[in-house]
Structure 1
Amino acid sequence: MKIKINQLLAVCFFTCATVNAQSGFSNDPLNAVFETSDTEKFWKAFDKMETSKDNPFTEYMKDGSLGVKGFTEFRIINADSLYTMVKRRKADYLKTRNVLDGIGLKEKRARAIYSAMKYWYPDAKFPPVYFVYGRFNSGGTVSKDGIIIGTEMLSNLDGVMGLVAHELIHFQQDISGDGSLLKNTLMEGGADFISEMISGENINTGPFRYGETHLDALCREFVTKLKNDDNTDWLYGTSKKDDRPNDLGYWMGYKISAAYFNKQKDKHKAIHDILNIKDPLKFLKESGFLDPYIKEYIESKKMKFDDFYKPYSDETHEITFTVSVPDKNDEVYITGNQPELGSWTPSSIKMNRKNAKERSITLKIHFPAQFKFTKGNWESQADIKGKDKWQNIRIEEKPSKPVHYEIINWSDNQ
């Protein structure tokens, strides 16, 4: 069913058609939509598991809303994956069967949060909020069609509006950058900062407590890693090297965003800036939050303060890149973090055919350089022998010998 924020109680017993990406969007916070019909379809399929010869979740996937479609690629995967998980964690799913029963009571709370968003960011759009069932791997996300909440992750509705507020911020964000840890941290932490302003809730209290307790050590560590694209120990997982919780990047991004906000006289413009960061390093510099730790770092590296905020050095050096390919017909492109490497356009720089199994190109590039090899599109990235799968290759300084990489596979072959 669709539940309008300003009419939750009045219409929560009526089943409506699924909203589409156009009609479901609103500029009015009082006309936002909660879509819960997928949960009804899920439990209908769940109740058929013991009697159906076929996978009952096929229909759930086929007839699901745009929320189910948006949750499919990286979370649900397909009906068989969902069926396997439901059978394995049947008891855990059952605990959430009635978790949305009190959703109507969130009417005033939702209206207040959405109206606060409109106050701080008049350009805000209010997409549908889809409550769907997935495979216990995401509490929430956004797609082009709206906000999607993984209902199986909810033990109750106490924090659901904080989660909705966080994902609402993601829907407004337009943050540029090259996939660095800093960019991702500002995206998540900025969402936490603004969502706390409009909801009064912080959904990541564990990382925040740990971060405040270990502030100096974490800031020193973050300074050394913020330009890299490796999120380990900061976002989405840890290496277990210490007792830190997951997602400390939310706390770090929050601190940087708060510092930037507090320095600005025009607070509404500050919110706009946090949502629309075009240069993460410039934003960090203007926040001033990490200045003491950056000064400490550059002294050890004999760098200039302003040079730290550059993505790479001013000088260029000639480098010859050579790659071995898995198939003699493979065409290979190189792309990376600077104009000389195509500025992350996957089809701008094609490597030359050296022989049947090798491709090569000589370029003048800046250091540090980050790059990847593709077949000319992001759907087909190279899996490089000895490198973490799908992460950027990074060269800090001019190598002492020619660089050679072996492509063992392509992402669209896996």
Structure 2
Amino acid sequence: MRTWILTAGLAATIALASPGWTQETKAALDTADVDLFYRLYDETGGRPSAEQLQARYIDAGSPGQRVFFEARRTTVARLAEAVATRPEIYQKARACASTLPKVKGRVDTALARFRTLYPQARVPSVTVAVGRGKPIAIGSPVTGVQVGLEALCAADFIDPDAEGRFVGVLLHEYAHAQQNPLLTEKKKPTVLEAALVEGGAEFVTELLIGRPAYVYFGPLTKGREREIETAFAADVDKTDLSAWFYNSTPEKPADLGYWAGYRIAKAYYAKASDKQAALRDILAVSDAHAFLAASGWTPGMTLE
């Protein structure tokens, strides 16, 4: 999931927050921020104050944590309020974190395949932090990958299997880290541009593990493909993303712009004779309309 905000403060933080780019094919999951949070959480009986969170978690945390929080304007007051009013997600996150070793093994296998398909792939370290219930995760070719443990653990609607959910979302974010910053860091992308970023990451995830990260799209869109994509085609040049992106709730999963973009990327890949070149094009796209035209995508088209 991308965040389309690059503030002056965040730009300054980026200078301090190297994403730890490496040519290795193995994931590095940095959970030091999780350890900081739960140490404070236990010592305060699950009720840390804003001042305690600032001094002993935010100020003591990693550069990646600060990038994550500033990207979505997570303030210490909002964090303290979330911890006090939603204790269940923080308790669930602690238990859910026990899946991370198995997650890492499965992600390592997928990343080895990624390097085969896309030899220039870079693997940033992943900052795993505890936030205010959102965002779930962000990935960027500039700032690397950050994951909100409590948010992803609570997002059962994405995939009811916690281990599979982590694997899919991490790979989606790793794909974002390979994409063209001309689109990923654009302040006001169009619906089509956002779709090619999010949908491209979904398609890469499918190449690596046989399914997209957001598995609910299949049942949600079945039999409605033409209807949804006709509406999407009418909105491709809008810069108001709210009808298509970042509008899911546990009660009403949505974010159908991801799915439309995934379908465009899949159409492009299916049409290409050189699959390795097609994958490069999907990750490097900068001219959204040219890519759309080259894909041969049409609303409701049949894709294997």
Q: Same fold (TM over 0.5)?
A: yes
Identity %: 27
Equivalent residue in structure 1 for 2:114, among 108, 114, 117: 117
5+ long unaligned stretches in structure 1: 1-18, 294-414
1:149 aligns with 2:147: yes
Is the CA contact 2:103–2:166 (under 8 Å) kept in the aligned structure 1?
A: no
Larger helix percent: 2
Q: SS of the residue aligned with 1:81?
A: helix
Partner of 1:255: 263
Correspondence list, 1:283-298, <5 A: 283-290=291-298
Give the Cα–Cα distance (whole angstroms) in 2 for the partners of residues 211 and 91 of structure 1: 31
CA deviations over 1:53-76 (Å, ceiling 9, x no partner): 773211100011122111111436
Q: SS of the residue aligned with 2:164?
A: coil
Q: SS of the residue aligned with 2:163?
A: coil
Q: 1:37 to 1:267 in 2, by over 3 A?
A: same
CA deviations over 1:345-384 (Å, ceiling 9, x no partner): xxxxxxxxxxxxxxxxxxxxxxxxxxxxxxxxxxxxxxxx
Give the Cα–Cα distance (whole angstroms) in 2 for the partners of residues 52 and 170 of structure 1: 34
Correspondence list, 1:46-57, <5 A: 46-50=41-45, 55-57=51-53
Larger strand percent: 1
Greater shift after overlay, 154-163 or 117-126?
Answer: 154-163
Partner of 1:405: none
Partner of 1:269: 277
1:36 aligns with 2:46: no
Partner of 1:94: 91
Q: 1:54 to 1:73 in 2, by over 3 A?
A: closer
Q: SS of the residue aligned with 2:29?
A: strand
Which one has the largest radius of gyration?
1
Is the CA contact 1:261–1:271 (under 8 Å) kept in the aligned structure 2?
A: yes
Partner of 1:365: none
Partner of 1:160: 166
Q: 1:54 to 1:261 in 2, by over 3 A?
A: closer
TM-score (norm 1): 0.60
Q: CA deviation at 1:20?
A: 5.8
Give the Cα–Cα distance (whole angstroms) in 2 for the partners of residues 291 and 79 of structure 1: 44
Q: 1:53 to 1:284 in 2, by over 3 A?
A: closer
Equivalent residue in structure 2 for 1:179, among 172, 186, 189: 189
Q: SS of the residue aligned with 1:100?
A: helix
Q: CA deviation at 1:279?
A: 1.0
Equivalent residue in structure 2 for 1:246, among 254, 265, 274: 254
Give the Cα–Cα distance (whole angstroms) in 2 for the partners of residues 176 and 182 of structure 1: 14
Equivalent residue in structure 1 for 2:200, among 187, 190, 209: 190
Greater shift after overlay, 262-271 or 92-101?
Answer: 92-101
Q: CA RMSD in A?
A: 2.5
Partner of 2:3: none
Q: CA deviation at 1:175?
A: 5.8
Equivalent residue in structure 2 for 1:104, among 86, 101, 106: 101
Correspondence list, 1:368-387, <5 A: none
Q: CA deviation at 1:291?
A: 7.1
Q: CA deviation at 1:157?
A: 2.7
Q: SS of the residue aligned with 2:217?
A: helix
5+ long unaligned stretches in structure 2: 1-15, 155-161
Equivalent residue in structure 2 for 1:72, among 55, 69, 73: 69
Greater RCO (CA < 8 Å, at least 6 residues apart)? 2
Is the CA contact 1:76–1:82 (under 8 Å) kept in the aligned structure 2?
A: no
Equivalent residue in structure 2 for 1:205, among 206, 212, 215: 215
